[in-house]
Structure 1
Amino acid sequence: MKIFSLIIKYTLTLLLLTGYSFAQENRLPAWALGGFERASDINPIISPDSTTRFFDPVLKKYVGWESNDTFNPGAALYKGKVIVLYRSEDKSGVGIGYRTSRLGYAASSDGLHFKRDKAPVFYPANDDQKKYEWPGGCEDPRVAVTVNGTYVIFYTQWNRETPRLGVATSKDLKHWTKHGPIFEDAYKGKFLNIPHKSASILTKIENGRQVVVKVKGKYWMYWGELHVYAATSTNLVDWKPVINTDGTLKELFSPRKGYFDSELTECGPPAIMTNKGIVLLYNGKNKSGEDGDKRFTPNTYCAGQALFDSQDPLNFITRLDVPFMRPMASFEKSGQYPAGTVFLEGMVYFKKKWFLYYGAADSRVCVAVYDPTHPSAPDAIN
């Protein structure tokens, strides 16, 4: 027995001296959702396709609209199927933000295996939004549905000058009516021309369906990339950012020095009203250098969760100190964002489980599933 103990001790010492690190257990608090388990053997569920062609109404020619990258998906249920609207990039430029983005449509009966349409269902065109959407396109959708079956999509309008949040509505997730920038009229257009993106509208499970919900007679959303802000609406189309008494945007929470979200706190899928409070899943970017979290790769995007008061959506309570998901699989760390990305944008309540759809390395679409009756462990800390 003594010899066996000495062997174990020697082995552990050798592993530590050679730089081997042991995975640290990660536990979620009672209010958080998860853990989510990546679907085995099927990820990525959507990858670039160089064979599909689309006649672009602006260029007036056929383009390989999803030939370079497919990533950052929104998701919703329609007639018993999971619909994923994913961002697709063509090969019109070099580097993130310098190609044209359009939104593809994919449907699934089980939430795991998808059939894709051959043409995008949402894209820049010769319409009244062209000045906001061309040539960069329509990016990073978040999708939700009202009780009466109206779908609302919040997306980034990217003209390669200023990113803006745009909004559109639909009854079938294929035919959309664009309504323009969400802050166009608020405060006489004060926030129209500031960079703004990433909107997570507040939802709730009602009668087994995830639907948009009001608090105190208003729709609410969280939005923002650098900080997390809020906005309200009475009609889903025109939104007013929540501001301080001096007219500046009210920051609800911000990046933290020394944590996985030390550079950015970017809102993810629609926020969820639960019996513990409002849970917001968000994307945290780890800063390089001394201000970042040394346990995680510099510049990597990991997944966080924050909790707000269900009676007061502005009352921020707490957030996770370590991510519940981080880039681990090879396809989450290789692509046009090699530092690594699990970028959350779509989540649906389907068959009494939560299906989370995310972008991997800004190149592919993946899925992870949370079963409340049999939750998986969150990703290990290192």
Structure 2
Amino acid sequence: MKSPRLLVSALLFISLSASAQKLPDWAIGPFVRPPGVNPVIAPDSTTRFYDPLRQEPVDWESNDTFNPAAAVKDNRVYVMYRAEDRSGIGIGHRTSRIGLAESSNGTSMKRLGKPVLFPDNDEQREFEWTGGCEDPRVAVTEDGTYLMLYTQWNKKVPRLAAATSKDLKHWKKHGPVFQDAYNGRFHNIASKSASVLTTLKNGRLQIVPHNGKYWMYWGENHVYAATSDNLVDWVPVVDEQGKLKELASPRKGYFDSHLTECGPPAILTDKGIVLLYNGKNRSGADSDTSYTANSYCAGQMLFSATDPSRLITRLDKPFMVPVESFEKSGQYPAGTVFIEGLVYFQHKYLLYYGCADSRVAVAVYDPAGK
């Protein structure tokens, strides 16, 4: 009879193999969790940061570290992760700040020890205090300017905001991205989760315009879009009635039956535009019973390269599901693999994701080994 440890290992292998489905030729992957390295970032109760608004030291990353962005600079991977302190109880009730870690191999992380983006006594205070700065996505322009699209949370309305940097450590906040569009009509709606359009060029993923304008997908309940001339002021795409145009929506009976939330920067390929996203499963009659109720799994959509608003197809099954213990325990025990950071590094794609709203992990796709 097999030992319990061997049996658990065998079951985990079967589960991981089942989740590594054969993908269509347009999709990116398969992504594999490298053995023995995850989670790559976990809470740290020893670091302190002098908070300019509370005017006291805070243990800014002691409760949870999750939902990461990623970028490459000087042949190193940088991960910008959401960190929560212990100022409240439950998701959304604490203060979030964005931390920074760097790595020469993509898995061994050296953390800066202090946040690089946080609520401050600045012009963004009304949008960021006391909830903070959440869930960043980061991409880089051809000239080396890094764009962060993140959620400002004042515990009233979540708003998409932009910040830019040249070194990933010092960021200039530009404020809510929809503040001026349509005379501010979309400034006070809930907005989050923005995936700017990129392409693989000269060995790195970089921001690319479409028909002279920058393009991003965004949204939590549905997938929407917006365009920009400068990457910081964005105009939502609307339909004939002037309402936000829904490009993709949850599907009854599928893993994304509750939410279709945009993930890391979208990628223009020779097959079209691939958007990796986070699908949340419902509980009850409309759910996909193959997956845990309320769990977050990772999906992919394909949009037209000539008309980025036109959805061509999407995966019916997720390409990543929560299987590891740290992906199913923490703030979100229903299970979460929440993808936000994607880089091309040393000829491989590294996908960074949040685990149960508590930790950060990485999965790897090697195109040469497909």
Q: Which amino acid in structure 1 is aligned with residue 61 of structure 2?
A: E
Quick check: 1:156 aligned with 2:172? no
- Give the corresponding residue for 2:133: 138
- State how far apart, in whole Å, the 2-side matches of 1:67 and 1:23 are: 34
2:45/2:62 contact within 8 Å kept: yes
- State how far apart, in whole Å, the 2-side matches of 1:299 and 1:49 are: 28
Matches within 5 A, 1:10-159: 26-159=21-154
Matches within 5 A, 1:1-382: 26-375=21-370
3-state SS in 2 of match to 1:46: coil
Compute the displacement of 1:26 (Å): 2.5
Change (3 A) 1:367 1:24: closer
Deviations 1:245-294 (A, max 9, x none): 11100000100000000000000000001111100000000000010000
Q: Which amino acid in structure 2 is aligned with residue 262 of structure 1?
A: S
- State how far apart, in whole Å, the 2-side matches of 1:187 and 1:297 are: 40
Compute the displacement of 1:79 (Å): 1.1
Q: Which amino acid in structure 2 is aligned with residue 316 of structure 1?
A: L
Gaps of 5+ in 2: 1-16
Gaps of 5+ in 1: 1-21, 376-382
- State how far apart, in whole Å, the 2-side matches of 1:229 and 1:262 are: 17
Q: Which amino acid in structure 2 is aligned with residue 263 of structure 1?
A: H
3-state SS in 2 of match to 1:358: strand
Deviations 1:5-59 (A, max 9, x none): xxxxxxxxxxxxxxxxx95873211100011010210100000000000000000
- State how far apart, in whole Å, the 2-side matches of 1:217 and 1:372 are: 30
2:137/2:264 contact within 8 Å kept: yes
- When the two structures are superposed, what TM-score results if normalisation uses the length of structure 1? 0.92
3-state SS in 2 of match to 1:37: coil
2:20/2:320 contact within 8 Å kept: no
2:163/2:171 contact within 8 Å kept: yes
Deviations 1:316-344 (A, max 9, x none): 10000000000000000010100000000
2:21/2:30 contact within 8 Å kept: no
- State how far apart, in whole Å, the 2-side matches of 1:189 and 1:52 are: 39
CA RMSD of aligned residues (A): 1.0
Change (3 A) 1:311 1:114: same
Q: Which amino acid in structure 2 is aligned with residue 320 of structure 1?
A: L
State the identity as a percent.
Answer: 66
2:204/2:343 contact within 8 Å kept: no
2:20/2:31 contact within 8 Å kept: no
3-state SS in 2 of match to 1:132: helix
- State how far apart, in whole Å, the 1-side matches of 2:41 and 2:31 are: 19
- State how far apart, in whole Å, the 2-side matches of 1:137 and 1:77 are: 25
Deviations 1:69-126 (A, max 9, x none): 0000000011111000000000000000000000111000111111001111110000
2:66/2:355 contact within 8 Å kept: yes
- State how far apart, in whole Å, the 2-side matches of 1:217 and 1:58 are: 41
- State how far apart, in whole Å, the 1-side matches of 2:221 and 2:324 are: 26
Deviations 1:185-222 (A, max 9, x none): 00000000000100000000111121100110000000
2:19/2:321 contact within 8 Å kept: no
Higher alpha-carbon deviation: 22-31 or 279-288: 22-31
- State how far apart, in whole Å, the 1-side matches of 2:316 and 2:101 are: 34
- When the two structures are superposed, what TM-score results if normalisation uses the length of structure 2? 0.95
Q: Which is greater in Rg?
A: 1
- State how far apart, in whole Å, the 1-side matches of 2:240 and 2:113 are: 50
Deviations 1:211-235 (A, max 9, x none): 1001100000000000000000010
Change (3 A) 1:133 1:303: same
